[in-house]
């Protein structure tokens, strides 16, 4: 079943985001969810590139403290399931010995 919820975001990075949750229902740990920012927020300079294109598949990996009023977590940590950015430099080579 598809559900939509408006949330407040905190601690946004290239690999994850924490969302404040005010709904009466909870999301189980490790559940896959689609996350997207509102259209106006996607164009801000501080928004990481993976979140600018729209929906991002994410996994719930952390729950916040539980609210007494609803018994549900006050927020969730989401891990964005995106390919990490790779930096390639043909001028630099890394040498290692073992």
Query: What are 45-81's pLDDT values in tens digits?
Result: 888 888 888 899 999 999 998 888 888 899 999 999 9
For residue 71, is it within any domain?
yes
3-state secondary structure of 49: helix
d(CA 30, CA 62): 8
- Six-digit token pair at 18? 């924490």
Torsion (CA) 75, 73, 5, 62 in degrees, nearest 10: 50
For residue 92, is it within any domain?
no
pLDDT of res. 85: 65
For residue 85, is it within any domain?
no
Domain count across the chain: 1
For residue 65, is it within any domain?
yes
For residue 29, is it within any domain?
yes
pLDDT of res. 93: 55
Residue 44, domain extent: 8-80
For residue 88, is it within any domain?
no
d(CA 92, CA 90): 6
pLDDT of res. 86: 59
Kindly indicate the confidence band of residue 40, based on its pLDDT and cuts at 50, 70 and 90.
Answer: confident
For residue 25, is it within any domain?
yes
pLDDT of res. 34: 93
Whose tokens are 């079943």? That residue is 1
pLDDT of res. 95: 58
User: What mean pLDDT do residues 19-46 have?
Assistant: 89
Sign of CA dihedral 20, 22, 27, 32: negative
pLDDT of res. 71: 83
For residue 24, is it within any domain?
yes
């Amino acid at each position: 079943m598809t559900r939509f919820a408006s949330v407040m975001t905190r601690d946004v990075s290239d690999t994850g985001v924490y969302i404040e949750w005010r709904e009466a229902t909870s999301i189980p740990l490790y559940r896959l969810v689609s996350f997207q920012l509102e259209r106006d927020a996607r164009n801000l300079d501080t928004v990481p590139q993976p979140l600018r294109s729209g929906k991002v598949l994410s996994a719930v990996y952390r729950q916040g403290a539980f609210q007494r009023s609803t018994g549900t977590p006050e927020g969730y940590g989401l891990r964005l399931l995106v390919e990490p950015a790779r930096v390639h430099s043909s001028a630099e080579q890394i040498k290692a010995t073992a």
